[in-house]
Structure 1
Amino acid sequence: MKLYWKYVVILFKSQMQYRASFWLLTIGQFLVPFSVFAGLYFLFERFEQIKGWQFQEVALCFAVIHMAFSLSECFARGFDYFSAMVVNGEFDRVLVRPRGTVLQVMGSKFEFTRVGRLIQSLIVLIWAISRLPVEWTAPKAVTLLLMVASGTFIFTGIFILAATLCFWTVQGLEVVNIFTDGGRQMAQYPLQIYKKWVTRFFTFVIPFSCVNYLPLLYILDKAPGNGLLYMLSPLAGVVFLLPCLLVWQVGVRHYRSTGS
Protein backbone atom coordinates (compact mmCIF):
# COMPACT_ATOMS: atom_id res chain seq x y z
CA MET A 1 0.00 0.00 0.00
CA LYS A 2 2.95 2.34 0.62
CA LEU A 3 3.98 1.92 -3.02
CA TYR A 4 0.39 2.33 -4.18
CA TRP A 5 0.09 5.71 -2.45
CA LYS A 6 3.37 6.76 -4.04
CA TYR A 7 1.74 6.05 -7.40
CA VAL A 8 -1.21 8.20 -6.32
CA VAL A 9 0.98 11.15 -5.31
CA ILE A 10 3.14 10.98 -8.46
CA LEU A 11 0.19 10.86 -10.87
CA PHE A 12 -1.69 13.54 -8.96
CA LYS A 13 1.29 15.88 -9.24
CA SER A 14 1.58 15.13 -12.96
CA GLN A 15 -2.10 15.94 -13.57
CA MET A 16 -1.82 19.16 -11.56
CA GLN A 17 0.80 20.42 -14.02
CA TYR A 18 -2.17 21.42 -16.17
CA ARG A 19 -4.39 22.86 -13.46
CA ALA A 20 -6.83 24.72 -15.71
CA SER A 21 -7.57 21.53 -17.65
CA PHE A 22 -7.83 19.54 -14.42
CA TRP A 23 -10.35 21.88 -12.80
CA LEU A 24 -12.42 22.27 -15.97
CA LEU A 25 -12.70 18.48 -16.31
CA THR A 26 -13.55 18.20 -12.61
CA ILE A 27 -16.31 20.81 -12.95
CA GLY A 28 -17.61 18.96 -16.01
CA GLN A 29 -17.71 15.71 -14.05
CA PHE A 30 -19.63 17.56 -11.34
CA LEU A 31 -22.23 19.11 -13.66
CA VAL A 32 -22.90 16.37 -16.23
CA PRO A 33 -24.40 13.80 -13.79
CA PHE A 34 -26.94 16.41 -12.72
CA SER A 35 -28.63 15.93 -16.10
CA VAL A 36 -29.05 12.24 -15.24
CA PHE A 37 -30.41 13.14 -11.81
CA ALA A 38 -32.74 15.67 -13.45
CA GLY A 39 -34.12 12.87 -15.60
CA LEU A 40 -34.75 10.88 -12.43
CA TYR A 41 -36.50 13.85 -10.86
CA PHE A 42 -38.80 14.48 -13.84
CA LEU A 43 -39.67 10.78 -13.98
CA PHE A 44 -40.96 10.88 -10.41
CA GLU A 45 -42.51 14.30 -10.96
CA ARG A 46 -44.68 12.60 -13.59
CA PHE A 47 -45.40 9.23 -11.95
CA GLU A 48 -44.74 10.07 -8.24
CA GLN A 49 -43.60 6.52 -7.43
CA ILE A 50 -42.35 3.34 -9.13
CA LYS A 51 -43.66 0.07 -7.68
CA GLY A 52 -43.95 1.64 -4.25
CA TRP A 53 -40.54 3.35 -4.28
CA GLN A 54 -40.50 7.06 -3.58
CA PHE A 55 -38.15 9.63 -5.12
CA GLN A 56 -36.02 10.05 -1.97
CA GLU A 57 -35.48 6.30 -1.71
CA VAL A 58 -34.40 5.99 -5.33
CA ALA A 59 -32.19 9.08 -4.92
CA LEU A 60 -30.30 7.18 -2.22
CA CYS A 61 -29.80 4.31 -4.70
CA PHE A 62 -28.60 6.81 -7.28
CA ALA A 63 -26.10 8.40 -4.91
CA VAL A 64 -24.64 5.11 -3.66
CA ILE A 65 -24.06 3.57 -7.09
CA HIS A 66 -22.60 6.75 -8.58
CA MET A 67 -20.27 7.20 -5.61
CA ALA A 68 -19.07 3.62 -5.99
CA PHE A 69 -18.54 4.04 -9.74
CA SER A 70 -16.65 7.31 -9.23
CA LEU A 71 -14.30 5.75 -6.68
CA SER A 72 -13.65 2.76 -8.91
CA GLU A 73 -13.02 4.97 -11.93
CA CYS A 74 -10.64 7.12 -9.92
CA PHE A 75 -8.53 4.41 -8.26
CA ALA A 76 -8.87 1.38 -10.55
CA ARG A 77 -8.85 3.10 -13.94
CA GLY A 78 -5.54 1.45 -14.82
CA PHE A 79 -7.40 -1.75 -15.68
CA ASP A 80 -9.70 0.14 -18.04
CA TYR A 81 -6.62 1.36 -19.97
CA PHE A 82 -4.86 -2.00 -19.77
CA SER A 83 -5.30 -2.82 -23.47
CA ALA A 84 -2.89 0.03 -24.32
CA MET A 85 -0.28 -1.53 -22.01
CA VAL A 86 -0.59 -4.84 -23.84
CA VAL A 87 -0.47 -3.31 -27.32
CA ASN A 88 2.56 -1.14 -26.51
CA GLY A 89 4.42 -3.93 -24.74
CA GLU A 90 4.37 -2.02 -21.44
CA PHE A 91 3.07 -5.07 -19.61
CA ASP A 92 6.31 -6.91 -20.38
CA ARG A 93 8.13 -4.38 -18.21
CA VAL A 94 5.51 -4.81 -15.48
CA LEU A 95 6.26 -8.55 -15.34
CA VAL A 96 9.97 -8.09 -14.64
CA ARG A 97 9.46 -5.69 -11.75
CA PRO A 98 9.53 -7.10 -8.19
CA ARG A 99 5.95 -6.14 -7.37
CA GLY A 100 2.53 -7.64 -8.07
CA THR A 101 0.92 -7.01 -11.43
CA VAL A 102 -2.40 -5.94 -9.87
CA LEU A 103 -0.69 -3.19 -7.89
CA GLN A 104 1.30 -1.92 -10.86
CA VAL A 105 -1.61 -1.91 -13.32
CA MET A 106 -3.93 -0.28 -10.81
CA GLY A 107 -1.30 2.36 -10.08
CA SER A 108 -0.65 3.14 -13.74
CA LYS A 109 -3.69 5.41 -14.15
CA PHE A 110 -5.83 7.53 -11.86
CA GLU A 111 -8.73 9.75 -12.88
CA PHE A 112 -8.69 12.38 -10.14
CA THR A 113 -11.17 14.52 -12.07
CA ARG A 114 -13.82 11.99 -11.03
CA VAL A 115 -13.87 13.74 -7.68
CA GLY A 116 -16.38 16.10 -9.34
CA ARG A 117 -18.83 13.25 -9.87
CA LEU A 118 -18.09 12.00 -6.36
CA ILE A 119 -18.99 15.38 -4.85
CA GLN A 120 -22.19 15.51 -6.88
CA SER A 121 -23.16 12.05 -5.63
CA LEU A 122 -22.33 13.06 -2.06
CA ILE A 123 -24.65 16.07 -2.34
CA VAL A 124 -27.48 13.84 -3.57
CA LEU A 125 -26.73 11.37 -0.76
CA ILE A 126 -26.92 14.06 1.94
CA TRP A 127 -30.15 15.42 0.43
CA ALA A 128 -31.75 11.96 0.28
CA ILE A 129 -30.75 11.15 3.86
CA SER A 130 -32.19 14.45 5.09
CA ARG A 131 -35.53 13.74 3.37
CA LEU A 132 -35.95 10.10 4.34
CA PRO A 133 -38.00 9.32 7.48
CA VAL A 134 -35.34 6.92 8.74
CA GLU A 135 -34.14 6.60 12.33
CA TRP A 136 -30.41 6.30 11.75
CA THR A 137 -28.44 3.97 13.96
CA ALA A 138 -24.80 2.86 13.96
CA PRO A 139 -25.60 -0.43 12.11
CA LYS A 140 -27.50 1.48 9.40
CA ALA A 141 -24.63 3.94 8.98
CA VAL A 142 -22.19 1.03 8.67
CA THR A 143 -24.50 -0.60 6.12
CA LEU A 144 -24.48 2.58 4.03
CA LEU A 145 -20.67 2.67 4.05
CA LEU A 146 -20.59 -1.02 3.09
CA MET A 147 -22.91 -0.32 0.18
CA VAL A 148 -20.49 2.23 -1.29
CA ALA A 149 -17.45 0.03 -0.64
CA SER A 150 -19.17 -3.03 -2.11
CA GLY A 151 -20.15 -1.16 -5.25
CA THR A 152 -16.55 0.00 -5.66
CA PHE A 153 -15.34 -3.60 -5.38
CA ILE A 154 -17.87 -4.81 -7.95
CA PHE A 155 -17.00 -2.16 -10.53
CA THR A 156 -13.30 -2.80 -9.92
CA GLY A 157 -13.88 -6.51 -10.43
CA ILE A 158 -15.59 -5.83 -13.76
CA PHE A 159 -12.67 -3.63 -14.84
CA ILE A 160 -10.30 -6.47 -13.92
CA LEU A 161 -12.29 -9.02 -15.93
CA ALA A 162 -12.36 -6.67 -18.92
CA ALA A 163 -8.59 -6.21 -18.65
CA THR A 164 -8.06 -9.96 -18.42
CA LEU A 165 -9.78 -10.44 -21.77
CA CYS A 166 -7.01 -8.34 -23.32
CA PHE A 167 -4.56 -11.21 -22.76
CA TRP A 168 -6.38 -13.06 -25.54
CA THR A 169 -8.06 -10.27 -27.54
CA VAL A 170 -5.27 -7.64 -27.16
CA GLN A 171 -7.81 -4.84 -27.68
CA GLY A 172 -10.46 -4.10 -25.10
CA LEU A 173 -14.03 -5.17 -25.88
CA GLU A 174 -16.76 -2.52 -25.87
CA VAL A 175 -19.30 -5.15 -24.84
CA VAL A 176 -17.91 -4.95 -21.29
CA ASN A 177 -19.42 -1.47 -21.03
CA ILE A 178 -22.78 -3.21 -20.70
CA PHE A 179 -21.73 -4.19 -17.19
CA THR A 180 -19.92 -0.96 -16.23
CA ASP A 181 -21.85 1.98 -17.67
CA GLY A 182 -24.94 -0.16 -18.17
CA GLY A 183 -24.66 -1.62 -14.68
CA ARG A 184 -24.35 1.86 -13.21
CA GLN A 185 -27.47 3.06 -15.04
CA MET A 186 -29.45 -0.01 -14.05
CA ALA A 187 -28.37 -0.14 -10.40
CA GLN A 188 -29.38 3.47 -9.75
CA TYR A 189 -32.91 2.06 -9.41
CA PRO A 190 -34.05 -0.67 -6.98
CA LEU A 191 -33.79 -3.99 -8.81
CA GLN A 192 -37.33 -4.85 -7.79
CA ILE A 193 -38.64 -2.83 -10.75
CA TYR A 194 -36.98 -5.15 -13.33
CA LYS A 195 -37.88 -8.58 -14.64
CA LYS A 196 -37.11 -11.54 -12.37
CA TRP A 197 -34.33 -12.91 -14.59
CA VAL A 198 -32.60 -9.52 -14.53
CA THR A 199 -32.87 -9.38 -10.75
CA ARG A 200 -31.49 -12.90 -10.38
CA PHE A 201 -28.58 -12.25 -12.74
CA PHE A 202 -27.60 -9.07 -10.91
CA THR A 203 -27.93 -10.81 -7.56
CA PHE A 204 -26.17 -14.14 -8.05
CA VAL A 205 -23.78 -13.40 -10.95
CA ILE A 206 -22.89 -9.71 -10.68
CA PRO A 207 -24.25 -8.78 -7.24
CA PHE A 208 -25.43 -5.22 -7.83
CA SER A 209 -28.54 -6.15 -5.88
CA CYS A 210 -26.33 -6.48 -2.80
CA VAL A 211 -25.13 -2.91 -3.27
CA ASN A 212 -28.38 -0.99 -3.41
CA TYR A 213 -31.56 -3.08 -3.19
CA LEU A 214 -31.10 -5.60 -0.37
CA PRO A 215 -29.24 -3.37 2.12
CA LEU A 216 -31.58 -0.50 1.26
CA LEU A 217 -34.49 -2.64 2.46
CA TYR A 218 -32.71 -2.91 5.81
CA ILE A 219 -32.04 0.83 6.03
CA LEU A 220 -35.67 1.66 5.20
CA ASP A 221 -36.99 -0.98 7.65
CA LYS A 222 -38.61 -2.91 4.79
CA ALA A 223 -36.53 -6.09 5.12
CA PRO A 224 -38.59 -9.20 5.80
CA GLY A 225 -37.21 -11.72 8.26
CA ASN A 226 -33.67 -11.46 9.60
CA GLY A 227 -32.42 -7.94 8.95
CA LEU A 228 -28.82 -8.96 9.69
CA LEU A 229 -28.61 -10.83 6.37
CA TYR A 230 -29.70 -7.72 4.50
CA MET A 231 -27.25 -5.60 6.47
CA LEU A 232 -24.32 -7.89 5.58
CA SER A 233 -25.34 -8.44 1.94
CA PRO A 234 -22.86 -5.77 0.67
CA LEU A 235 -20.03 -8.13 1.61
CA ALA A 236 -20.92 -9.91 -1.63
CA GLY A 237 -18.83 -7.24 -3.34
CA VAL A 238 -15.69 -8.65 -1.70
CA VAL A 239 -16.76 -12.17 -2.64
CA PHE A 240 -17.20 -11.05 -6.25
CA LEU A 241 -13.77 -9.40 -6.37
CA LEU A 242 -11.85 -12.50 -5.25
CA PRO A 243 -12.64 -14.71 -8.29
CA CYS A 244 -11.95 -11.71 -10.55
CA LEU A 245 -8.43 -11.57 -9.12
CA LEU A 246 -8.05 -15.33 -9.65
CA VAL A 247 -9.12 -14.97 -13.29
CA TRP A 248 -6.56 -12.19 -13.63
CA GLN A 249 -3.80 -14.49 -12.35
CA VAL A 250 -4.85 -17.14 -14.90
CA GLY A 251 -4.62 -14.52 -17.64
CA VAL A 252 -1.15 -13.43 -16.48
CA ARG A 253 0.13 -17.03 -16.57
CA HIS A 254 -1.16 -17.45 -20.14
CA TYR A 255 0.17 -14.11 -21.36
CA ARG A 256 2.50 -14.13 -24.33
CA SER A 257 4.28 -10.94 -25.30
CA THR A 258 2.72 -8.96 -28.16
CA GLY A 259 6.21 -8.39 -29.54
CA SER A 260 5.72 -4.60 -29.57
Structure 2
Amino acid sequence: MRILDNIRVYLRFLEVSVKSQMQYRASFVMLSLGHLAGTGIEFIGIWVLFERFGSLKDWALPEVAFMYGIVNIAFAITDAATRGFDAFGVMVKSGDFDRLLTRPRSTALQLAGQELTLRGVGRLLQGLIVLVWAATALDLDWTVLKVLLVVFAVLGGAALFSGLLVLQATLAFWTTESLEIMNTVTYGGVETTQYPVTIYRPWFRDIFIFVVPLATVSYFPSLAILGRDDPLGTSLLFQYLSPAFGFVFLAATLRVWQFGVGHYRSTGS
Protein backbone atom coordinates (compact mmCIF):
# COMPACT_ATOMS: atom_id res chain seq x y z
CA MET A 1 0.00 0.00 0.00
CA ARG A 2 2.83 2.39 0.80
CA ILE A 3 4.35 1.79 -2.64
CA LEU A 4 1.03 2.59 -4.32
CA ASP A 5 0.68 5.70 -2.18
CA ASN A 6 4.18 6.86 -3.19
CA ILE A 7 3.34 6.29 -6.85
CA ARG A 8 0.16 8.34 -6.43
CA VAL A 9 2.09 11.20 -4.83
CA TYR A 10 4.79 11.02 -7.51
CA LEU A 11 2.20 11.21 -10.29
CA ARG A 12 0.64 14.19 -8.54
CA PHE A 13 4.04 15.90 -8.48
CA LEU A 14 4.40 15.30 -12.21
CA GLU A 15 0.90 16.59 -12.91
CA VAL A 16 1.66 19.88 -11.17
CA SER A 17 4.98 20.18 -13.04
CA VAL A 18 3.35 19.55 -16.43
CA LYS A 19 0.59 22.08 -15.79
CA SER A 20 3.08 24.78 -14.79
CA GLN A 21 5.24 24.23 -17.89
CA MET A 22 2.28 24.11 -20.26
CA GLN A 23 1.44 27.67 -19.28
CA TYR A 24 4.13 28.59 -21.82
CA ARG A 25 3.29 26.27 -24.70
CA ALA A 26 5.23 28.15 -27.34
CA SER A 27 8.36 27.87 -25.23
CA PHE A 28 7.71 24.13 -24.78
CA VAL A 29 7.36 23.58 -28.53
CA MET A 30 10.51 25.56 -29.39
CA LEU A 31 12.61 23.87 -26.71
CA SER A 32 11.39 20.43 -27.80
CA LEU A 33 12.15 21.14 -31.45
CA GLY A 34 15.58 22.45 -30.48
CA HIS A 35 16.26 19.30 -28.49
CA LEU A 36 15.06 17.17 -31.40
CA ALA A 37 17.36 19.00 -33.82
CA GLY A 38 20.32 18.88 -31.45
CA THR A 39 20.12 15.15 -30.85
CA GLY A 40 19.38 14.60 -34.55
CA ILE A 41 22.78 16.08 -35.36
CA GLU A 42 24.36 13.42 -33.08
CA PHE A 43 22.88 10.64 -35.20
CA ILE A 44 23.96 12.36 -38.41
CA GLY A 45 27.51 12.06 -37.07
CA ILE A 46 27.04 8.28 -36.72
CA TRP A 47 25.57 8.10 -40.22
CA VAL A 48 28.60 9.95 -41.64
CA LEU A 49 30.89 7.49 -39.86
CA PHE A 50 29.22 4.53 -41.57
CA GLU A 51 29.11 6.32 -44.93
CA ARG A 52 32.88 6.65 -44.69
CA PHE A 53 33.80 3.20 -43.40
CA GLY A 54 30.79 1.06 -44.37
CA SER A 55 30.59 -0.91 -41.10
CA LEU A 56 31.91 -1.00 -37.56
CA LYS A 57 33.64 -4.36 -37.32
CA ASP A 58 30.73 -6.51 -38.55
CA TRP A 59 27.95 -4.18 -37.38
CA ALA A 60 25.89 -2.32 -39.99
CA LEU A 61 24.35 1.13 -39.52
CA PRO A 62 20.76 -0.09 -38.88
CA GLU A 63 22.01 -2.46 -36.15
CA VAL A 64 23.91 0.30 -34.36
CA ALA A 65 20.95 2.64 -34.92
CA PHE A 66 18.74 0.11 -33.13
CA MET A 67 20.97 0.26 -30.05
CA TYR A 68 21.14 4.04 -30.38
CA GLY A 69 17.35 4.28 -30.28
CA ILE A 70 16.99 2.16 -27.15
CA VAL A 71 19.70 4.07 -25.26
CA ASN A 72 18.43 7.52 -26.19
CA ILE A 73 14.79 6.78 -25.39
CA ALA A 74 15.88 5.46 -22.00
CA PHE A 75 18.06 8.48 -21.31
CA ALA A 76 15.33 10.88 -22.46
CA ILE A 77 12.99 9.40 -19.83
CA THR A 78 15.67 9.76 -17.16
CA ASP A 79 16.63 13.27 -18.21
CA ALA A 80 13.01 14.39 -18.07
CA ALA A 81 12.09 12.77 -14.76
CA THR A 82 15.19 13.20 -12.55
CA ARG A 83 16.16 16.86 -12.85
CA GLY A 84 15.93 17.22 -9.10
CA PHE A 85 18.89 14.87 -8.65
CA ASP A 86 20.84 16.49 -11.48
CA ALA A 87 20.67 19.90 -9.77
CA PHE A 88 20.95 18.60 -6.22
CA GLY A 89 24.34 20.20 -5.53
CA VAL A 90 22.74 23.65 -5.69
CA MET A 91 20.11 22.61 -3.13
CA VAL A 92 22.80 21.47 -0.68
CA LYS A 93 24.79 24.69 -1.04
CA SER A 94 21.73 26.88 -0.54
CA GLY A 95 20.36 24.82 2.34
CA ASP A 96 17.09 24.10 0.48
CA PHE A 97 17.50 20.39 1.12
CA ASP A 98 16.59 21.04 4.76
CA ARG A 99 13.02 21.76 3.65
CA LEU A 100 12.71 18.29 2.15
CA LEU A 101 13.84 16.70 5.40
CA THR A 102 10.96 18.32 7.31
CA ARG A 103 8.32 16.73 5.09
CA PRO A 104 6.79 13.29 5.78
CA ARG A 105 7.87 11.84 2.45
CA SER A 106 11.00 10.18 1.12
CA THR A 107 13.60 12.73 0.03
CA ALA A 108 14.30 10.64 -3.07
CA LEU A 109 10.61 10.73 -3.98
CA GLN A 110 10.45 14.50 -3.52
CA LEU A 111 13.53 15.09 -5.68
CA ALA A 112 12.31 12.73 -8.41
CA GLY A 113 8.97 14.55 -8.54
CA GLN A 114 10.41 18.05 -8.34
CA GLU A 115 10.24 18.66 -12.08
CA LEU A 116 9.26 16.77 -15.21
CA THR A 117 11.33 18.45 -17.92
CA LEU A 118 9.02 18.35 -20.92
CA ARG A 119 11.64 19.50 -23.41
CA GLY A 120 13.06 15.96 -23.12
CA VAL A 121 10.26 14.88 -25.44
CA GLY A 122 12.48 16.09 -28.30
CA ARG A 123 15.21 13.55 -27.49
CA LEU A 124 12.60 10.86 -26.89
CA LEU A 125 10.99 11.43 -30.29
CA GLN A 126 14.37 11.45 -32.00
CA GLY A 127 15.33 8.15 -30.37
CA LEU A 128 11.95 6.65 -31.27
CA ILE A 129 12.27 7.74 -34.91
CA VAL A 130 15.73 6.18 -35.18
CA LEU A 131 14.55 2.99 -33.49
CA VAL A 132 11.56 2.61 -35.84
CA TRP A 133 13.74 3.33 -38.88
CA ALA A 134 16.33 0.76 -37.78
CA ALA A 135 13.69 -1.91 -37.11
CA THR A 136 12.14 -1.26 -40.54
CA ALA A 137 15.51 -1.35 -42.33
CA LEU A 138 16.45 -4.61 -40.59
CA ASP A 139 13.05 -6.19 -41.38
CA LEU A 140 13.04 -7.90 -37.98
CA ASP A 141 10.92 -10.93 -37.24
CA TRP A 142 8.95 -9.49 -34.33
CA THR A 143 7.43 -11.64 -31.61
CA VAL A 144 5.63 -10.67 -28.42
CA LEU A 145 8.76 -11.55 -26.43
CA LYS A 146 10.94 -9.27 -28.54
CA VAL A 147 8.52 -6.35 -28.20
CA LEU A 148 8.45 -6.87 -24.44
CA LEU A 149 12.26 -7.04 -24.41
CA VAL A 150 12.49 -3.63 -26.13
CA VAL A 151 10.21 -2.14 -23.46
CA PHE A 152 12.15 -3.95 -20.71
CA ALA A 153 15.46 -2.64 -22.10
CA VAL A 154 14.17 0.95 -22.25
CA LEU A 155 12.80 0.81 -18.70
CA GLY A 156 15.94 -0.92 -17.42
CA GLY A 157 18.06 1.72 -19.13
CA ALA A 158 16.00 4.53 -17.61
CA ALA A 159 16.42 2.93 -14.18
CA LEU A 160 20.18 2.58 -14.64
CA PHE A 161 20.69 6.17 -15.82
CA SER A 162 18.52 7.33 -12.91
CA GLY A 163 20.77 5.37 -10.57
CA LEU A 164 23.80 7.17 -11.95
CA LEU A 165 22.18 10.55 -11.29
CA VAL A 166 21.22 9.44 -7.77
CA LEU A 167 24.84 8.44 -7.19
CA GLN A 168 26.02 11.79 -8.54
CA ALA A 169 23.65 13.63 -6.22
CA THR A 170 24.77 11.54 -3.24
CA LEU A 171 28.36 12.70 -3.73
CA ALA A 172 27.14 16.25 -3.04
CA PHE A 173 26.70 15.35 0.62
CA TRP A 174 30.48 15.21 0.92
CA THR A 175 31.68 17.49 -1.90
CA THR A 176 28.99 20.20 -1.43
CA GLU A 177 28.27 19.92 -5.14
CA SER A 178 28.02 17.13 -7.67
CA LEU A 179 31.31 16.10 -9.18
CA GLU A 180 31.53 16.89 -12.90
CA ILE A 181 33.52 13.69 -13.37
CA MET A 182 30.22 11.82 -13.01
CA ASN A 183 29.15 13.32 -16.34
CA THR A 184 31.76 11.12 -18.02
CA VAL A 185 29.75 8.14 -16.80
CA THR A 186 26.22 9.49 -17.34
CA TYR A 187 26.38 11.51 -20.56
CA GLY A 188 29.57 9.75 -21.62
CA GLY A 189 27.87 6.43 -20.93
CA VAL A 190 25.10 7.34 -23.35
CA GLU A 191 27.66 7.92 -26.09
CA THR A 192 29.60 4.75 -25.26
CA THR A 193 26.65 2.35 -25.15
CA GLN A 194 25.32 3.50 -28.50
CA TYR A 195 27.88 1.12 -29.97
CA PRO A 196 28.51 -2.61 -29.36
CA VAL A 197 30.83 -3.08 -26.38
CA THR A 198 32.94 -5.57 -28.32
CA ILE A 199 34.60 -2.73 -30.24
CA TYR A 200 36.31 -1.51 -27.06
CA ARG A 201 39.40 -2.78 -25.30
CA PRO A 202 38.65 -5.54 -22.72
CA TRP A 203 39.36 -3.38 -19.64
CA PHE A 204 37.12 -0.58 -20.90
CA ARG A 205 34.41 -3.01 -21.98
CA ASP A 206 34.41 -4.67 -18.55
CA ILE A 207 33.68 -1.32 -16.87
CA PHE A 208 30.40 -1.04 -18.77
CA ILE A 209 29.47 -4.64 -18.06
CA PHE A 210 30.52 -5.24 -14.45
CA VAL A 211 31.00 -1.80 -12.82
CA VAL A 212 28.45 0.45 -14.52
CA PRO A 213 26.40 -2.21 -16.34
CA LEU A 214 25.16 -0.06 -19.23
CA ALA A 215 25.81 -2.87 -21.73
CA THR A 216 23.13 -4.93 -19.99
CA VAL A 217 20.41 -2.50 -21.10
CA SER A 218 21.62 -1.91 -24.66
CA TYR A 219 24.11 -4.38 -26.14
CA PHE A 220 22.87 -7.69 -24.72
CA PRO A 221 19.12 -7.19 -25.33
CA SER A 222 19.90 -5.89 -28.82
CA LEU A 223 21.72 -9.14 -29.58
CA ALA A 224 18.63 -11.14 -28.64
CA ILE A 225 16.31 -8.97 -30.74
CA LEU A 226 18.65 -8.87 -33.75
CA GLY A 227 19.35 -12.60 -33.55
CA ARG A 228 23.14 -12.16 -33.42
CA ASP A 229 25.60 -14.46 -31.69
CA ASP A 230 27.55 -12.88 -28.86
CA PRO A 231 31.37 -13.07 -29.18
CA LEU A 232 31.46 -12.84 -25.38
CA GLY A 233 29.56 -16.12 -25.13
CA THR A 234 26.44 -14.99 -23.23
CA SER A 235 23.29 -17.10 -23.49
CA LEU A 236 19.96 -16.02 -24.97
CA LEU A 237 18.38 -16.28 -21.51
CA PHE A 238 20.95 -13.87 -20.07
CA GLN A 239 20.34 -11.44 -22.92
CA TYR A 240 16.61 -11.41 -22.20
CA LEU A 241 17.10 -10.95 -18.45
CA SER A 242 20.02 -8.50 -18.60
CA PRO A 243 17.91 -5.27 -18.40
CA ALA A 244 17.00 -6.30 -14.85
CA PHE A 245 20.50 -5.17 -13.83
CA GLY A 246 19.32 -1.59 -14.42
CA PHE A 247 16.73 -1.94 -11.66
CA VAL A 248 19.22 -3.69 -9.38
CA PHE A 249 21.67 -0.82 -9.94
CA LEU A 250 19.00 1.78 -9.12
CA ALA A 251 18.03 -0.06 -5.94
CA ALA A 252 21.69 -0.18 -4.87
CA THR A 253 22.21 3.54 -5.49
CA LEU A 254 19.07 4.38 -3.50
CA ARG A 255 20.61 2.52 -0.56
CA VAL A 256 23.74 4.64 -0.98
CA TRP A 257 21.48 7.70 -1.11
CA GLN A 258 19.93 6.77 2.24
CA PHE A 259 23.42 6.43 3.69
CA GLY A 260 24.25 9.92 2.40
CA VAL A 261 21.06 11.41 3.86
CA GLY A 262 21.95 9.89 7.22
CA HIS A 263 25.31 11.69 7.14
CA TYR A 264 23.99 15.03 5.86
CA ARG A 265 24.99 18.13 7.79
CA SER A 266 23.08 21.31 7.09
CA THR A 267 24.98 24.27 5.67
CA GLY A 268 23.21 26.49 8.22
CA SER A 269 21.86 28.76 5.48
Tell me the TM-score normalised to structure 1 length: 0.97
Residue in structure 2 matching 1:223, options 216, 229, 240: 229
Aligned equivalent of 1:248: 257
Amino acid at match of 1:231: Y
Deviation at 1:24, TM superposition (A): 0.9
SS at match of 2:242: helix
Q: Tell me, yes or no, if structure 1 residue 174 matches structure 2 residue 180.
A: yes
Aligned equivalent of 2:242: 233
CA-atom RMSD, angstroms?
Answer: 1.1
Residue in structure 1 matching 2:141, options 126, 135, 142: 135
SS at match of 1:40: helix
Which runs of structure 2 are paired with 1:31-180 in the superposition (5 Å)? 31-180=37-186
Deviation at 1:134, TM superposition (A): 2.2
**Counterpart Cα distance in 2 of 1:223 and 1:240:** 26
**Counterpart Cα distance in 2 of 1:172 and 1:201:** 21
5+ residue gaps, structure 1, are: none
5+ residue gaps, structure 2, are: 1-6
Aligned equivalent of 2:10: 4
Moved more, 105-114 or 156-165: 105-114
**Counterpart Cα distance in 2 of 1:25 and 1:122:** 18
| 8 Å contact kept, 1:78–1:110 | no
Deviation at 1:133, TM superposition (A): 3.5
Aligned equivalent of 2:217: 211
Moved more, 2-11 or 17-26: 17-26
Deviation at 1:100, TM superposition (A): 0.7
**Counterpart Cα distance in 2 of 1:210 and 1:172:** 26
Deviation at 1:143, TM superposition (A): 1.2
| 8 Å contact kept, 1:148–1:211 | yes
Amino acid at match of 1:30: L
Q: Tell me, yes or no, if structure 1 residue 185 matches structure 2 residue 191.
A: yes
| 8 Å contact kept, 1:223–1:230 | no
| 8 Å contact kept, 1:86–1:170 | yes
Amino acid at match of 1:109: E
**Counterpart Cα distance in 1 of 2:184 and 2:259:** 23
Moved more, 171-180 or 215-224: 215-224
SS at match of 2:142: coil
**Counterpart Cα distance in 1 of 2:30 and 2:98:** 35
Which whole-Å deviations, capped at 9, do the CAs of 1:10-64 have from their partners, x for residues lacking one? Answer: 1111112222222111110111111111111111111111110010000001111
**Counterpart Cα distance in 1 of 2:30 and 2:140:** 37
**Counterpart Cα distance in 2 of 1:207 and 1:170:** 27
SS at match of 2:243: helix
Amino acid at match of 1:256: R
**Counterpart Cα distance in 2 of 1:128 and 1:71:** 20
**Counterpart Cα distance in 1 of 2:25 and 2:143:** 41
Q: Number of matched residues?
A: 260
SS at match of 1:109: coil
**Counterpart Cα distance in 2 of 1:210 and 1:243:** 16
Amino acid at match of 2:149: T
Moved more, 11-20 or 229-238: 11-20
